[in-house]
Amino acid sequence: MGGAGPATAVPVRDAEIVADIIRRAAAALAEAGCDTPRLDAELLLMETLGWSREELYTRPETTLDASEAERFEALVARRRRGEPVAYLIGRREFWSLDFSVTPAVLIPRPETEHLVEAVVDFLASRPEPQRILDLGTGSGAIAVSVARECAGAEVWATDVSAPALAVARENARRHGVDRRIDWFQGDLFAPLRGLPVSFDALVSNPPYIPSREMARLPRDVGAWEPVLALDGGTDGMDFYRRIVRDGTPRLREGGLLALEVGDGLAGLVSELFRAHGGLRRVRVLRDYAGLPRVVAGERTQASGTVSRPDPAPGVVSG
């Protein structure tokens, strides 16, 4: 949503039916610069009425009572000011699962499903039990999805943000995998300091927006999503440097390092992987649009790696 559209309310008219309410709300959202006005109007009305999409199509003649109309008008007004639909309705689908989201977490993006896919495919050929680390878990989208797919995997998830970890835990509970995920609060690997653990896969979708570009982000993103989840330092590479340097020694031999990459960063991140010397089979995975989306590599002979057996997880927070 780019335009600074007026934030005035769009009142639902007396006896106005659902089909017309959606049409007028969509027009108002389009006027405010919303990219997907019809979809957003539908989602906001479904939220207001507690309806499924099917009900939206099979009950177009329904009218709203006064409190429903008031709630819908308030949601549309907030959306017109740029607030993302996912925050307004409190959830977003990812990996065909319903995730709770709050403004404390990045709204999970469909692109990140490629990262989940890469890890799940890789783990299919690794002996169990497996241990996976998700750095900067946010809503828990990656950790929860991997835990759901890989029944033999124990997942560790970290985030510097305590409110984000609370959301991630709720999502893990909702999807029945909370007991297979250990949560750690702190700066990247800091919570693991002193724990001689190693991983079959280390995965992250780190903050990667170059600081100077933060002010130019689309309003839906820049004004609403957490800076902590976005700002990747001067060139967007801060987290990649730290994760490759400190994460590679945490991998078991042959273990996977897989990182989502921002626009234009795949080459630089691949270079980092190659320059490290401890990673082989470095490759760039593309998304359905053909864009570079994930850089992956596997741990070479793991001298200096913490070997099995590892102690049980100890530091749990969130």
Ligand X SMILES: C[S@@+](CC[C@H](N)C(=O)[O-])C[C@H]1O[C@@H](n2cnc3c(N)ncnc32)[C@H](O)[C@@H]1O
Binding site for ligand X (CB under 6 A): 105-106, 108, 112, 136-139, 141-142, 158-161, 164, 187-188, 205-207, 228-229
Strand order in the sheet with 279-286: 181-185, 153-159, 130-135, 199-204, 251-260, 292-299, 279-286
What is the rounded distance in angstroms from the CA atom of residue 37 to the CA atom of residue 1?
10
Under DSSP, the state recorded for 240 is H
DSSP 18-46: HHHHHHHHHHHHHHTT-SSHHHHHHHHHH
Q: Kindly tell me which of 10 and 141 has the beta carbon lying closer to ligand X.
A: 141
What is the rounded distance in angstroms from the CA atom of residue 314 to the CA atom of residue 195?
8
For residue 230, the minimal CB distance to ligand X (Å) is: 7
What is the rounded distance in angstroms from the CA atom of residue 165 to the CA atom of residue 139?
7
Residue from 181, 126, 130 nearest 152 by CA: 130
Residue with the two structure tokens 């273990």: 255
For residue 242, the minimal CB distance to ligand X (Å) is: 8
Q: Kindly tell me which of 166 and 229 has the beta carbon lying closer to ligand X.
A: 229
Residue with the two structure tokens 């639902």: 12
For residue 52, the minimal CB distance to ligand X (Å) is: 25
Q: Kindly tell me which of 108 and 297 has the beta carbon lying closer to ligand X.
A: 108
Helices 141-149 and 162-174, axial angle in degrees (round to 10): 30
* 292 phi, psi to nearest 5 deg: -60, 130
Q: Kindly tell me which of 80 and 250 has the beta carbon lying closer to ligand X.
A: 250
Residue from 61, 11, 2, 69 nearest 31 by CA: 2
Q: Kindly tell me which of 184 and 273 has the beta carbon lying closer to ligand X.
A: 184
For residue 166, the minimal CB distance to ligand X (Å) is: 12
Cβ proximity of 298 and 279 under 8 Å: yes
For residue 255, the minimal CB distance to ligand X (Å) is: 19
For residue 312, the minimal CB distance to ligand X (Å) is: 22
Q: Kindly tell me which of 112 and 305 has the beta carbon lying closer to ligand X.
A: 112
For residue 261, the minimal CB distance to ligand X (Å) is: 11
Provide the terminal-to-terminal Cα distance of the chain, rounded to the nearest Å. 33
Q: Kindly tell me which of 95 and 273 has the beta carbon lying closer to ligand X.
A: 95
Q: Kindly tell me which of 111 and 253 has the beta carbon lying closer to ligand X.
A: 111
For residue 55, the minimal CB distance to ligand X (Å) is: 29
